[in-house]
Structure 1
Amino acid sequence: MLETSIKKFSELELEELYHILQLRSAVFVVEQDCVYQDMDGKDKKAIHILGRHDGKLVAYTRIFDSGDYFNEASIGRVVVDFNYRKFGYGKVIMEASIKAINNLFNQTDIKISAQLYLKKFYNDLGFIQFGESYLEDGIPHIGMLLN
Structure 2
Amino acid sequence: MKKEFEFRLKYFDELNINELYDIVKVRYEVFVCDQKITSENDFDDKDKECYHLTVYYKDILVGYCRILKAGMSYKEPSIGRVLVLKEYRRNNIAQEMMKRAVDFIINELGEDKITLSAQLYVKDLYESIGFKVISDIYEEAEIPHIKMSFSKV
The two structures share one fold, judged by TM-score above 0.5? yes
Partner of 1:12 in structure 2?
15
1:96-143 CA deviation, whole Å, 9 max, x = no partner? 111111122111211010001111111111110012111001001000
Aligned pairs (5 A) from 1:1-147: 1-35=4-38, 36-147=40-151
1:15-36 CA deviation, whole Å, 9 max, x = no partner? 1101001001101111011212
SS in 2 for 1:87: coil
Gap regions ≥5 residues in structure 2: none
Specify the code of the residue in structure 2 equivalent to 1:2: F
Gap regions ≥5 residues in structure 1: none
- Calculate the TM-score normalised by the size of structure 1: 0.96
1:29-68 CA deviation, whole Å, 9 max, x = no partner? 1101121211111000111111111232111110022112
Give the CA RMSD over aligned residues. 1.0
Contact 1:2–1:92 under 8 Å retained in 2: no
CA distance in 1, matches of 2:5, 2:103: 15
Specify the code of the residue in structure 2 equivalent to 1:15: N
Contact 1:51–1:60 under 8 Å retained in 2: yes
- Calculate the TM-score normalised by the size of structure 2: 0.92
State the shift of 1:73 in Å. 1.0
Identity of aligned residues (%): 37
Specify the code of the residue in structure 2 equivalent to 1:45: E
> 4+ residue runs of structure 1 moved beyond 3 angstroms?
none
CA distance in 1, matches of 2:58, 2:102: 23
SS in 1 for 2:33: helix
Mean Cα deviation higher: 107-116 or 49-58: 49-58
